[in-house]
Amino acid sequence: MFDAVVLGGGYAGLAAARHLVQGGARCLLLEASDGLGGAGRCGTVAGESVEWFYHHIKPQDIHLLELIAGMGLEDSLLWRETFMAFYLEQRLYPFSRPLDLLRFAPFTLADKLRFCAGMLSSRFTQSQDLAGVSAKEWIVRHWGQSVYRKMMAPMMRNKFGIPPERVCAGFLHGRIKGLSATKAKGVGGEMLGYLDGGLDRLARRLGRDLQQGAELLLEAPVTALERTREGYLVHGGGRSHAAKVVVNTLPLNYFARLPVNFSFESRVKYQGAACALMALDRPLELPYWTNILEPGFSFKVVVNQSRLGRHRANLVYCAAYLPDDHSLITAPPQQVRDTYLQDLRAMAGPVELIDCLVTQSPVATPVFDVDYRQQTHDLQSRLSGVFFAGNATIYPHSRTLSSVIGSGQRAATMALERLAAVARAA
């Protein structure tokens, strides 16, 4: 019997397994795919190893930075000053420096003053104090109706996939506060990092490190979960595995389909993502990050990866968060590629595609709606001996790899406490 079985080999699961092993637990990790790293995995584009989905590292991503240092990869971190822009009215509006706000033509002078006031007020607000408050209500109150209509409402629709009045203000505030924390002093850009060679380097190091004290099974999807007198029986990879405790990092809607002899319900909804990593014949004259506010575009953000990483190819991501049943989530990858390339040409001019990697996921992120805290406040106490990690547990923090790593470490700590209590009672 294992002390703990970890469901999922993304960064939440890897962090949980590592923490469990460090705590002396006999641990098994089950991963459905053929590799570790989850949404942080890499694919090959134009001969380079690059993440399927765009990822960057912020100076305050303590959990991720500690893990990188612990795996001996700290010297491979690249730090860059990056800039962002909005694409609106068929124009690119830089939006990183104070002067950019003054030149932002869609805003009136009153809008610009309200925007500054809203940013200032967000610094003195705690995200947890906004539980149950809609993002629309909070933005209109502090930023004004005009700023909400011209910028914040379309951005929230792009990023959250639900009406702005349903978006949780606490989660939006956490994202805004995280953005302001990475501003380069005296310049206006964001200081962001990237692991040279891609995050697969970190996942491989973690996997090798874990194999010294844990068992890892790849291509072993979890198919069922049974409660027993001693704990749980996890069915995965064609075998059954007995465990005293379980750490789950799978999406909650997936987990809810596993139980055999007990029930688990979740009201948390998920939204999907369709992302195309393109290698182009020329570099784009775009900043690192461009939010698309222009109506009618299939993608909602363009990430100019060549501004961040040290790449030979001209790499850009075009991506959108979408309802989990959207046609671009279920379409053949070449349809996503062609749709995005057509819109990219409309925005950036003639470009030719050298290579492309399309990634689609129906469960990219939970929908952080206004009731999210109520939906998940008792998550860690619903099932005795089951502890949850991953995106579903990061509220009100922003959805970053560092956040999910921290969630895995917290779940493992609770699991170790439970194992110690069981041992004392025996």
β-pairing, 270-280 vs 353-366, is antiparallel
- Name the residue with higher pLDDT: 384 or 426: 384
Cα–Cα distance between 179 and 302 in angstroms, integer?
Answer: 17
Model pLDDT for residues 317-339, shown as the tens digit of each residue: 999 999 888 999 999 999 999 99
Share of the chain above pLDDT 70, in %: 96
CA 330 to chain centre: 20
Task: Please say if the pLDDT value at position 180 is more than 60.
Answer: no
Averaged pLDDT of the chain = 92
pLDDT of residue 128: 67
Task: Please say if the pLDDT value at position 365 is more than 80.
Answer: yes
pLDDT band at 142 (very low <50, low <70, confident <90, very high): confident
pLDDT of residue 169: 85
pLDDT of residue 121: 79
pLDDT band at 276 (very low <50, low <70, confident <90, very high): very high
pLDDT of residue 48: 94
- For the chain, the distance separating the N- and C-terminal CA atoms, rounded to the nearest angstrom, is 16
pLDDT band at 38 (very low <50, low <70, confident <90, very high): very high
pLDDT band at 24 (very low <50, low <70, confident <90, very high): very high
φ, ψ of residue 165 in degrees (nearest 5): -70, -10
Model pLDDT for residues 248-258, shown as the tens digit of each residue: 999 999 999 99
Structure-token pair, residue 114: 């309200």
pLDDT of residue 162: 76
Q: Model's pTM, two decimal places?
A: 0.92
pLDDT band at 127 (very low <50, low <70, confident <90, very high): low
Cα–Cα distance between 321 and 275 in angstroms, integer?
Answer: 9
CB 20 within 8 A of CB 412: yes
pLDDT of residue 173: 78
Cα–Cα distance between 69 and 41 in angstroms, integer?
Answer: 19
Cα–Cα distance between 244 and 264 in angstroms, integer?
Answer: 18
**CATH architecture of the domain formed by 97-179:** Orthogonal Bundle (1.10)
pLDDT band at 395 (very low <50, low <70, confident <90, very high): confident
Task: Please say if the pLDDT value at position 357 is more than 70.
Answer: yes
pLDDT of residue 231: 96
pLDDT of residue 188: 66
Cα–Cα distance between 226 and 260 in angstroms, integer?
Answer: 5
For 2-41+199-267+373-425, CATH gives: 3.50.50.60
Q: Which letter does DSSP use for residue 184 in this model?
A: P
241-244, long-range: CB within 8 Å, 24+ apart, which pairs? 241/2, 241/5, 241/28, 241/30, 242/1, 242/2, 243/1, 243/2, 243/3, 243/4, 243/5, 243/28, 244/1, 244/2, 244/3, 244/4, 244/385, 244/418, 244/419, 244/422
Structure-token pair, residue 205: 């190091």
Overall residue count recorded for the chain in this entry: 426
pLDDT band at 397 (very low <50, low <70, confident <90, very high): confident
Nearest to 316 by CA among 290, 350, 342, 349: 290
Nearest to 14 by CA among 310, 242, 180, 214: 214
Cα–Cα distance between 155 and 212 in angstroms, integer?
Answer: 45
pLDDT of residue 209: 95
pLDDT band at 170 (very low <50, low <70, confident <90, very high): confident
Please name the amino acid found at residue 268: V
Sequence ranges of the domains in the chain: 2-41+199-267+373-425, 97-179
Cα–Cα distance between 324 and 214 in angstroms, integer?
Answer: 34
pLDDT of residue 251: 97
Nearest to 43 by CA among 301, 313, 404, 297: 313
pLDDT of residue 49: 95
pLDDT of residue 132: 78
| Coil/strand/helix, residue 183 | strand
User: Does the N-terminal peptide bond of residue 59 adopt cis geometry, omega within 30 degrees of 0?
Assistant: no
Task: Please say if the pLDDT value at position 177 is more than 80.
Answer: no
| Coil/strand/helix, residue 201 | helix
Model pLDDT for residues 214-245, shown as the tens digit of each residue: 999 999 999 999 999 999 999 998 999 999 99
Task: Please say if the pLDDT value at position 393 is more than 70.
Answer: yes
Cα–Cα distance between 304 and 288 in angstroms, integer?
Answer: 5
